[in-house]
Amino acid sequence: MTEDDMRAASDLLFSHWREQTRLDALPPRLRPATRAEGYRVQAFIEAHTARPLFGWKIAATSAAGQKHINVDGPLAGRLLAERVIADGGACPLGNNLMRVAEMEFAFRMAADLPPRAAPYTQDEVMGCVDTLHPAIEIPDSRFHDFTKVGLAQLVADNACAHRFVLGPAAPEGWRAVDLAAHPVRAFVNEGIAGEGSGSVVLGDPRIALTWLVNELSRHQMTLRAGEVVTTGTCVKPVAIAAGETISGDFGPLGRVAVTIKS
């Protein structure tokens, strides 16, 4: 793909995102063939935001999630500031195809982690974390059948990023918590809708964060200070409908909530 092809592919996907419409697949000339090409297409989405990048998401951090979208590993996507909803705010459902909410651990970074030859260790990555937050992701795809388009097109489609809710920072002392074993519960209108733990997320949300840092590094991208990384759902995705309030209970680490509107 030429750079013009990549920009055209990104513009096409973004136009479907903006208009809440879908396509079967990218045209052959605009279709990335590899993970690397997918990320290069994805990068052009930043031309459509007037604000600094809010952060990153990780998709398919569980075996079930990977099987569902027919990929063999996680993938990263960008969180645009314009698509972030305040804790307790309202999320328009619109023409969302997936119609699910995901309860996630999110980390805000305190320092840049630029590309380098050697992989970053988990200790190095965690040493660059500022705060931990409960979060809710509400994903979506610009493809009619996102289970069939393949990894490269899913990466180009921003790893199914859509809306995101960041809860308050967890209290001091969160670093001593075993996030893998930590229970997370999802609620719909105060009724419990699912339970899980951090172990669902590549075994531990800290492992997922380290994967994201090294994935960006491999593709010559920098995770920057101030950006937020949401690490994947700890609970089976919860079905959502207009009029419902969705909340995540992370115990002593906090709560986060969003109301779904039509």
146: phi then psi, degrees, rounded to nearest 5: -70, -10
State the Cα–Cα distance between residues 37 and 39, nearest whole angstrom: 5
> Which tens digits make up the pLDDT trace of 205-232?
999 999 999 999 999 999 999 999 999 9
On whether the CB atoms of residues 38 and 151 are closer than 8 A, the answer is yes
Cβ neighbours for 249, distance < 8 A, ≥ 6 positions apart: 184, 185, 186, 187, 255
State the Cα–Cα distance between residues 234 and 180, nearest whole angstrom: 10
Query: What is the pLDDT at residue 64?
Result: 87
State the Cα–Cα distance between residues 118 and 95, nearest whole angstrom: 43
Residue 217: closest CA among 129, 119, 126: 119
> Which tens digits make up the pLDDT trace of 110-161?
999 999 999 999 999 999 999 999 999 999 999 999 999 999 999 999 999 9
Rg (CA), the chain: 17
Taking 3-state DSSP, the helix, strand and coil percentages for the chain, each rounded to the nearest 5, stand at 30, 30, 40
Alpha helices in the chain (DSSP H): 3-19, 35-43, 63-69, 122-126, 151-156, 205-218
DSSP for 20-55? T--BSS--GGG---SHHHHHHHHHGGGGG-SS---E
Q: If pLDDT is split at 50, 70 and 90, which confidence band does 75 have?
A: very high
Indicate whether 63 pLDDT > 90: no
Indicate whether 171 pLDDT > 90: yes
Token pair for 165: 């809710």
On whether the CB atoms of residues 44 and 11 are closer than 8 A, the answer is yes
Query: What is the pLDDT at residue 109?
Result: 99
